[in-house]
A and B are shown apart, each in its own frame.
Chain A
Amino acid sequence: MPTTTIAVNQDVLAAKKQRALEQRDRFTAQGTFVVNLVSSPGAGKTSLLQATARHWQNRFCVGVLVGDIATDRDAERLRPYVPVEQLTTGGACHLELSLVQQGLSRLPQQQYDFLFIENIGNLVCPASHDLGEHVRVVVLSTTEGDDKPGKYPKMFRTSQAMVISKSDLLPYVPFSVDAAIQDARLIQPDLVTILTSSTRDEGLQDWCQFLEDARKAMLAGRDAAQSLMTTQKGAS
Chain B
Amino acid sequence: MHEESLIRSLLRQVEELARQHQATAVAEIEVEVGPLSGVEPLLLQDAFERLRDEFSWPLSELSVLQVGLDVLCRSCQTESQLQNFRFVCLQCGSTSLQILRGDAFRLLNVIMEVDDAITARVDTDSRVGQAAISSAGPP
Cβ–Cβ contact A5 & B87, under 8 A: no
Cβ–Cβ contact A8 & B109, under 8 A: yes
- Closest chain A residue, CB of each to CB of B135: A4
Q: Given A5, A6, A13, which contacts B128 in the complex, CB threshold below 8 Å?
A: A6
A157: which B residues are within 8 A, CB to CB? 36, 85, 87, 103
Q: What is the 8 Å Cβ interface bit string for chain B, positions 1-28, against chain A (1 contact, 0 not)?
A: 1100110011001000100010111010
In the bound complex, how far is the Cα of B17 from the Cα of A1, in angstroms? 18
Cβ–Cβ contact A188 & B9, under 8 A: no
In the bound complex, how far is the Cα of B119 from the Cα of A8, in angstroms? 18
A5: which B residues are within 8 A, CB to CB? 109-111, 133-136
Q: Given B10, B109, B116, which contacts A7 in the complex, CB threshold below 8 Å?
A: B109
Interface residue? B92 (CB, 8 A)? no
Cβ–Cβ contact A9 & B108, under 8 A: yes
Interface residue? A176 (CB, 8 A)? no
Chief secondary structure at chain A's binding surface: mixed
Q: Given A4, A12, A185, which contacts B9 in the complex, CB threshold below 8 Å?
A: A12
Q: Given A8, A10, A154, A188, which contacts B87 in the complex, CB threshold below 8 Å?
A: A188
A154: which B residues are within 8 A, CB to CB? 36, 38, 103
Cβ–Cβ contact A2 & B136, under 8 A: yes
Known: A3-B113, A6-B131. A12 touches B2 (CB 8 A): no
Interface residue? B57 (CB, 8 A)? no
Cβ–Cβ contact B27 & A3, under 8 A: yes
Cβ–Cβ contact A4 & B136, under 8 A: yes
Cβ–Cβ contact B110 & A12, under 8 A: no
Cβ–Cβ contact A92 & B87, under 8 A: no
Chief secondary structure at chain B's binding surface: mixed
Cβ–Cβ contact A12 & B31, under 8 A: yes
Known: A13-B9, A157-B85. A4 touches B119 (CB 8 A): yes
Q: What is the 8 Å Cβ interface bit string for chain A, positions 82-96, against chain B (1 contact, 0 not)?
A: 000000000011101
Known: A13-B104, A125-B2, A187-B85. A7 touches B38 (CB 8 A): no
Interface residue? B90 (CB, 8 A)? no
In the bound complex, how far is the Cα of B1 from the Cα of A129, in angstroms? 13
In the complex, how many angstroms separate the beta carbon of A145 from the nearest chain B beta carbon? Answer: 17
In the bound complex, how far is the Cα of B136 from the Cα of A34, in angstroms? 48
Q: Given A1, A4, A150, A189, which contacts B133 in the complex, CB threshold below 8 Å?
A: A4
Interface residue? B107 (CB, 8 A)? yes
Cβ–Cβ contact B111 & A3, under 8 A: yes
Residue from B35, B88, B109 having most chain A Cβ neighbours under 10 A: B109
Q: Given B21, B104, B114, B134, which contacts A11 in the complex, CB threshold below 8 Å?
A: B104
B6: which A residues are within 8 A, CB to CB? 12-13, 128
A6: which B residues are within 8 A, CB to CB? 17, 21, 109-112, 128, 131-133
Cβ–Cβ contact A10 & B107, under 8 A: yes
In the complex, how many angstroms separate the beta carbon of B59 from the nearest chain A beta carbon? Answer: 14
Interface residue? A222 (CB, 8 A)? no
Interface residue? A127 (CB, 8 A)? yes
Interface residue? A31 (CB, 8 A)? no
B108: which A residues are within 8 A, CB to CB? 7-9
**A1-B113, A6-B110, A6-B132 given; 11 more Cβ-contact pairs under 8 Å:** A1-B24, A1-B115, A2-B138, A3-B113, A4-B21, A4-B119, A6-B21, A124-B2, A124-B38, A128-B37, A186-B87
Q: Can you sample 6 A-B contacts with CB below 8 Å?
A: A3-B136, A6-B132, A13-B104, A16-B9, A128-B38, A153-B36
Task: In the A-B complex, list the 5 residue pairs whose CB atoms are closest, starting with the nearest.
Answer: A2-B137, A189-B95, A125-B2, A128-B38, A153-B85
